[in-house]
Every structure is written in C-alpha cells, then in structure tokens.
Structure 1
Amino acid sequence: MADNKNKKAVIILSGGLDSTTCMGFAKEAGYELFPLTFDYGQRHRIELEKSRQVAEHYGVIDRYKVIKLDFLRNIGGSALTDEAIAVPKGTGVEQMDVEQAESEIPVTYVPGRNFMFLAIATSYAEAVGAEAIYIGVNALDYSGYPDCRPEFIAKVEEVMALATKVGVEGKPISIETPLIALSKADIVREGVRMGVPYELTTSCYNGEEEACGECDSCVLRLKGFSEAGHTDPIPYHKHG
C-alpha cells in the first residue's frame, strides 16, 4: 500500500452503501478525508442526513461539505428528481448481467449526474490540495448507469489532467474507484472487514425512514448482504 500519510482525498459521499465503503477504503489507504455531498433535489433526501452521520462517525464533520445543485431537479428526466416518474420495483435487476443492464438504462438514471459530481469534486480537490477523488461507481452489480463504467472514469480523468493547474504541472488528481470490479457481496465483505458503519447508511430510492426493500437499489443491497453472509443492519418496510 502506498504511503498516503498527510495526503488528502475528496470522497463523493451520498450516505449510501457504496460511497460509505469508499470512505472506509480512503481511510484505510491513509488519506485525510474530505467528504463531499450533493443536494440535487433528489427524492431520497434522507441520504443527506445519512452522509452527515457518516462524516461524524469518521470524525471529519468539520471538513464535510454539501453542494446544492437545484438545477438537476429543474431538468428532471429521472425518477430521482421528478415526482411524476415512479420509482420502479420488481424489475429483476438482481438477475441481470452487465450486457442486459447496459441495454436497459432505468428511469432512476440522473442525466449527467456523475459527470457533474466529478467536475465539482475536482474543483474542491484542487482547492484543498487533495491528490485523489474517491467515487463509489461499480461496473458489476449496478443498475445500468452509463456513468458508472471504467471507460467513463478514464475519460474524465484525462480531461481533469488537461483542465487543472495541478494536471498541467504534472501532478494530476486521480479518480479512485475501489468498488468498480467488485460484486455487491464483495463490497459488503470489504466494508464489514473495515468496520464501515452500514447501520448509518441508506440505499433506498424512495427516501423513507425505513427502506422500501423493493426498489432496484434496495434489492441489490439486500442481495449483497445475503450473498456476503451478513445481515443488513438497517430497517426495511418490506424484506423478501
């Protein structure tokens, strides 16, 4: 493992399972943690409180930032930002392979979300002198989002090197994607090993105090815990 003592990393933190696991990986790698959360008018606004709790758990609430992106709700085009579009359930996402998922991009995809998140995280990273940005994208157990693919991350990293002062000076900011090739079960196993506080997180797209247990995100999360041999510590309205 590289010596990252006194080095900084920005973590794009939603308060969900994947991004919180990224916090664990960044901490394990020895980085000072700079969590960055986005309020984009999402239906599941409970994740804003969850991300704050995660930041408190890791002792970095003084460096925790929330960025408002209200225009994503104005743009709409996603079940997560438009109340007129229902959050799907019973889609069978847990049984899809990557090829199937890519051919059926769901209505929970938010147009340009990760692209904008990474752009703003790059600005924050350069401002605080961070060497890395952690983002919880995953190319295996995911919902078919095009902005979760390795090809997307590689291209954004290229643009970052061209568009930043540190990049031009030969010290580009890296995008760290420790979950990109892990199954959801492997993510859970790694998180449990690192003591990630999953009890503080939520993954539900509906945003209630109790997770619905039926939306794609809940289904994939429950599948991950089951296959990892662990019990999900958060409450569900419906389970199984």
Structure 2
Amino acid sequence: MQEENSLKAANGGEPKNAIILLSGGLDSITVLALAKQQGYDCYALSFDYGQRHNAELAAARSIARRYGVLDHKIIRLGLDSIGGSALTDDHIEVPRSPAEGIPVTYVPARNTIFLAFALGWAEVLDARDVFIGVNAVDYSGYPDCRPEFIEAFQNMANLATKAGVEGQEIRIHTPLIAMSKAEIICQGTALGVDYASTVSCYAADSQGRACGCCDACRLRKAGFAQAGVADPTCYR
C-alpha cells in the first residue's frame, strides 16, 4: 500500500498506468503480478503474430481476466508471412535439444516490434511505463533479451515520441532481466502466481499441453526443480 500511495503521489494523486507485454507464459505473468503489487493500473498487450499455436494467447486472456487489467488487446501481426523462425514457419522444426549460437526459435525483430506497439499504446493512454519479461540469464541466446537492447530501445523511445520530446520520459521496465528462472519462480510464488495457468512451450498442443523437450520447456522444468517448487505444467 505504501508503494501504491507513493506512485500516486508522484503522479499528482492519479493512478499510474502501465502497459504489460503479456504472452501467457511464466515470465510475463510474474511481471504482471509485480506491476500490480507496485500499484500500477495495468493494460495488457498480447500478439497473435503467426506463432505455431494459440494456447499461449488463451492463457493470456485468462490471466488478464484474473488480474483485472483495465484493457487487454491482442494485436494480429503477420510475422509468419516472413518466416525465418521455427515459431513462425512450419517448415522449420522446433529443436528438441540445445544448439550452439542463436537458435532457430529466435523470431526476427519480435521484441522490437512488440515494444513499438506498446510504446504507441502508452502514448495514447498517457502511460509512462512499459513492462516486459525479458531475461538475460536463463534464456535461449536471443539478442533482443539483453540489457543493451532495452537501453537502446528506451533511448530511441524518448527521441521518437511526443511524450519524450515534451520531457515525459517513458520507461521500459525489465524486472526479471538479471534473475534466474528459479529466482523468477520464487518471486512469483511469493506473489501468489498460479503457474499452472501459463503456457511456455514452443510446441504446445491445442489444449496447451507442453512437449517437455523444447528449449522453453527445459528452462522451465529446470527452474522449478532448482526453486524447489512443484512443477504444475501439464505435459503431453
């Protein structure tokens, strides 16, 4: 409550709006829970970008309702029309074992595009805060999950927007960026997050059941094991 009052005081007594990038996965629900704890009035933004399955979007809808976000938008993007990733091109198989370098599950420019939409909506809502669940510790080597990328995007955001030019800085929050998957799970568990409602798998079936073999599943399983928390994931 003290944090919430501080946020409102800093904003002239008015609630502070935040955009939360909500994928329906483990990291994004934790970020939403953290933003709510900090007293933000949350707006959720998800993307139907041509990914292999929509189970994560169904999870995002459910999570948005449970957390009482003020609005939840799902934006349709045709990233499958350009392909280049195992997540958007059915001709590229999702790897079932770790690979060297940047894996084929990397979706070209995905976080850049997602953050750009969040930035636009933030301006419309007069919001100054955008939250994204990128992580630079337990991740798959994606270049758009690094602190350097977030710093560069925030600098660009404040050069490219009316809000930024007028001195209303827009902040990109990455509360999980330096945390291990186990630490994220412990943080979320302390906040009462129900991880059974999330979908992380790159190749989940239509019912949201995880393959248990892809990179996302391996990181998730290892995180629960290291955190000493029972894994609630439904595996097929």
Q: Would you say same fold, with TM above 0.5?
A: yes
Q: Which of these residues, 43, 64, 68, is aligned with residue 76 of structure 2?
A: 68
Where do residues 19-168 of structure 1 align in structure 2 (5 Å cutoff)? 19-60=28-69, 63-70=71-78, 72-91=79-98, 104-168=101-165
Q: Who is 1:215 aligned against? A: 214
In the superposition, the TM-score normalised over structure 1's length comes to 0.91
Verify: 1:4 aligned to 2:7, yes or no.
Answer: yes
Structure 1: which 5+ runs fail to align?
93-102
Kindly state the Cα deviation for residue 199 of structure 1 after the two structures are TM-superposed.
1.4
SS of the residue aligned with 1:64? strand
RMSD (CA atoms): 1.2
SS of the residue aligned with 2:224? helix
**Separation in 1 of the partners of 2:156 and 2:114?**
14
**Separation in 1 of the partners of 2:67 and 2:231?**
20
Q: Who is 1:229 aligned against? A: 228
Residue pair 1:41, 1:81 contacting (<8 A) in 2 also = yes
Verify: 1:194 aligned to 2:191, yes or no.
Answer: yes
Kindly state the Cα deviation for residue 116 of structure 1 after the two structures are TM-superposed.
0.4
In the superposition, the TM-score normalised over structure 2's length comes to 0.93
**Separation in 2 of the partners of 1:224 and 1:150?**
21
SS of the residue aligned with 1:186? helix
Kindly state the Cα deviation for residue 44 of structure 1 after the two structures are TM-superposed.
2.8
Q: Who is 1:96 aligned against? A: none
Structure 2: which 5+ runs fail to align?
9-14
Aligned amino acid, residue 55 of structure 2: I
SS of the residue aligned with 1:230? coil
| Matched pairs, number | 225
- Deviation digits for residues 128-170 of structure 1, max 9, x if unmatched? 1111000010000000000000000000000000011110111
Identity %: 54
Aligned structure 1 segments of 4 or more residues deviating by more than 4 angstroms: none
SS of the residue aligned with 2:7? coil
